[in-house]
């Protein structure tokens, strides 16, 4: 091969003519990207300093949210642009100020669902998945059960049951206008996704005439009521953002549970089952209410994954009778 050494002179090519020089590539000002791992580490330090219990996990969730990728694919994601970094920093600052993570992302995971949540509705907790799972198990034995979810809030329990039991008829009851808006939005979203539509009823669960058309017909009744005793100091995320009426249940935390226990006995068919979540200090009180009603049998107390009392269950007496309360009852350890 010949090359031109001068406009008028040609010479044989040498090895030097084939050497390619790679110059360092510098991005233009304002286009630098931050690796997701660095963004997560930086954000986790801020959250840890603010006292967030799981700073690394929440930093990953916020970073994934900003990048619009699943959390499990963060390592494969492109770096954050300056605008995305600014957005992440703003979200981290709000979380450090104890605004709920779910309010920042706009959704809460619950079993196999992602539910829209925000101001005006109680954010569903992971421990409530245990009650929902118990309800699904009970309904699965029946094929096409009638399931009622009282104090439905965002619809977490009702929608989980409707998704996992396509043959069920599910009725969700909520009183708060603000929570009802979120409930109806989630019901519409899940129906559009192909799940069994949930029936929404705007009503007060303490009303003695609640769901009069379903008396004696309900197979499974589930309830996650407000149950925190008024004197309990709750975390900032709860005190500042969850609706007060969805958290506190009066002086002893049982103001809503008492009428629910009474009305559920009328709504359930003989052999129908009730599951009600409660405060971890109610491990004796709520089963005692069920046993003392006289219309329930098979009263059991259930604990969560860390061993705390979490929800109580019972069956409507198969003979439909109302008997004198039995002062003795046995708790389960499920």
Nearest to 264 by CA among 219, 230, 197: 219
Residue 122 included in any domain? yes
Domain extent, residue 60, equals 36-97
What is residue 141's three-state secondary structure?
coil
Binding residues: 174, 224-227
pLDDT at 136: 98
Tell me, yes or no, whether 276 lies in a domain: yes
Contacts of 287 (CB under 8 A, 6+ apart): 299, 300, 301, 312, 314, 329, 331
- The count of domains in the chain is 2
Question: Where is the domain boundary, 77, 97, 117?
Answer: 97
CATH code at 238? 3.40.50.150
Contact 248, 228 (CB under 8 A): yes
Please check whether residue 14 lies inside any domain of the structure: no
Q: Report the C-alpha gap between 254 and 258 in whole angstroms.
A: 6
Kindly state whether residues 117 and 163 are assigned to the same domain.
yes
> Based on the domain organization, do 76 and 111 belong to the same domain?
no
How many angstroms separate the CA atoms of 173 and 175, rounded? 7
How many CB atoms within 10 Å of residue 157? 32
Shared-domain flag, residues 47 and 152: no
As a whole number of angstroms, the distance between CA 138 and CA 219 comes to 9
Which region holds residue 253: left if phi is over 0, alpha if psi is between -120 and 50, else beta? left
Tell me whether strands 113-116 and 107-110 are parallel, antiparallel or unpaired: antiparallel
Kindly state whether residue 324 falls inside one of the protein's structural domains: no
Same domain for 222 and 76: no
Residue 88 and residue 217 in one domain: no
Count Cβ atoms within 10 A of the Cβ of residue 10 and give its class: 0-12 exposed, 13-18 middle, 19 or more buried. Answer: exposed
Same domain, 93 and 111: no
Contact 129, 111 (CB under 8 A): yes
- At 32 the pLDDT is 86
Does residue 79 sit in the same domain as residue 114? Answer: no
Q: What is the pLDDT along the chain (334 residues), one digit of tens a residue?
A: 444 444 333 444 443 443 333 333 333 345 589 999 999 999 999 999 999 999 999 999 999 999 999 999 998 999 999 999 999 999 999 999 999 999 999 999 999 999 999 999 999 999 999 999 999 999 999 989 999 999 999 999 999 999 999 999 999 999 999 999 999 999 999 999 999 999 999 999 999 999 999 999 999 999 999 999 999 999 999 999 999 999 999 999 999 999 999 999 999 999 999 999 999 999 999 999 999 999 999 999 999 999 999 999 999 998 877 777 655 554 444 4
The answer to whether residues 299 and 201 belong to one domain is yes
What is the DSSP code (8-state) at residue 248? B
8 A C-beta contact, residue 105 and residue 61: yes
Are the C-beta atoms of 326 and 295 separated by less than 8 Å? no
Residue 16 forms part of a structural domain: no
Whether residue 19 is contained in a domain is answered as: no
Predicted confidence at residue 1, as pLDDT, reads: 46
Task: Note whether 82 and 29 are within 8 A (CB).
Answer: no
Measured between alpha carbons, how far is 283 from 33 in angstroms, rounded to an integer? 52
Distance, in Å, from the CA atom of 181 to the CA atom of 160, rounded to the nearest integer, reads: 18
pLDDT score, position 47: 97
| CA distance to 122, 233, 244, 277, per residue, from 239 (Å) | 11, 8, 8, 20
The per-residue pLDDT for 321 is 76
Tell me, yes or no, whether 129 and 226 share the same domain. yes
- Vertex 15 angle, CA 13 and 19, to 5°: 115
Say how many CA atoms lie within 13 Å of 148 toward its Cβ.
31
Do 145 and 225 have their domain in common?
yes
Rounded distance between C-alpha atoms, residue 260 and residue 322, angstroms: 17
Q: What is the pLDDT of residue 319?
A: 85
Q: Is residue 7 part of a domain?
A: no
Residue 18 lies in a domain: no
pLDDT for position 306? 92
Domain boundary among 74, 97, 120: 97
Which residue, 97, 131, 149, sits at the end of a domain? Answer: 97
Parallel, antiparallel or unpaired: strands 2-6 and 9-12: antiparallel
Same domain for 270 and 303, yes or no, is: yes
Query: What span, in angstroms and rounded, lies between the C-alpha atoms of 129 and 134?
Result: 9
Query: Are 46 and 193 contained in the same domain?
Result: no
φ/ψ of 57, rounded to 5, equals -60, -40
- CA count, 13 A, side-chain hemisphere, 238: 13
Which pLDDT belongs to residue 31? 58
Binding residues for S-adenosyl-L-methionine: 174, 224
Pairwise CA distance, residues 152 & 155, whole Å: 5
Nearest to 47 by CA among 89, 87, 106: 89
Binding-site residue numbers for substrate are: 224-227
């Amino acid at each position: 091969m010949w090359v031109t050494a001068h406009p008028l002179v040609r010479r044989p090519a040498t090895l030097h003519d084939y050497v390619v020089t790679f110059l360092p590539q510098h991005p233009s000002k304002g286009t630098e990207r931050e690796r997701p791992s660095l963004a997560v580490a930086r954000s986790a330090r801020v959250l840890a300093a603010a006292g967030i219990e799981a700073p690394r996990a929440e930093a990953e969730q916020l970073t994934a949210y900003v990048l619009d990728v699943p959390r499990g694919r963060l390592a494969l994601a492109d770096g954050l642009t300056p605008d995305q970094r600014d957005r992440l920093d703003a979200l981290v600052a709000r979380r450090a100020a104890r605004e709920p993570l779910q309010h920042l992302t706009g959704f809460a995971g619950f079993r196999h669902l992602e539910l829209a949540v925000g101001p005006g509705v109680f954010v569903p907790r992971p421990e409530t998945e245990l009650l929902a799972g118990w309800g699904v198990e009970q309904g699965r034995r029946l094929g096409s059960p009638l399931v009622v979810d009282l104090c439905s809030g965002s619809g977490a329990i009702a929608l989980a049951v409707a998704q996992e039991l396509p043959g069920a008829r599910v009725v969700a009851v909520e009183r708060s206008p603000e929570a009802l808006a979120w409930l109806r939005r989630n019901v519409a979203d899940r129906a559009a996704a192909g799940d069994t539509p949930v029936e929404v009823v705007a009503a007060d669960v303490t009303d003695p005439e609640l769901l009069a058309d379903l008396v004696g017909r309900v197979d499974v009744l589930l309830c996650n009521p407000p149950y925190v005793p008024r004197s309990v100091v709750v975390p900032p995320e709860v005190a500042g953002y969850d609706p007060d009426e969805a958290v506190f249940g009066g002086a002893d935390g049982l103001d809503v549970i008492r009428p629910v226990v009474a009305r559920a006995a009328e709504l359930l068919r003989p052999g129908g089952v009730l599951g009600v979540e409660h405060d971890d200090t109610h491990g004796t009180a709520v089963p005692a209410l069920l046993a003392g009603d006289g219309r329930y049998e098979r009263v059991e107390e259930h604990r969560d994954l860390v061993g705390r009392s979490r929800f109580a269950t019972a069956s409507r007496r198969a003979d439909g009778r109302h008997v004198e309360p039995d002062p003795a009852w046995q708790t389960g350890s499920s």
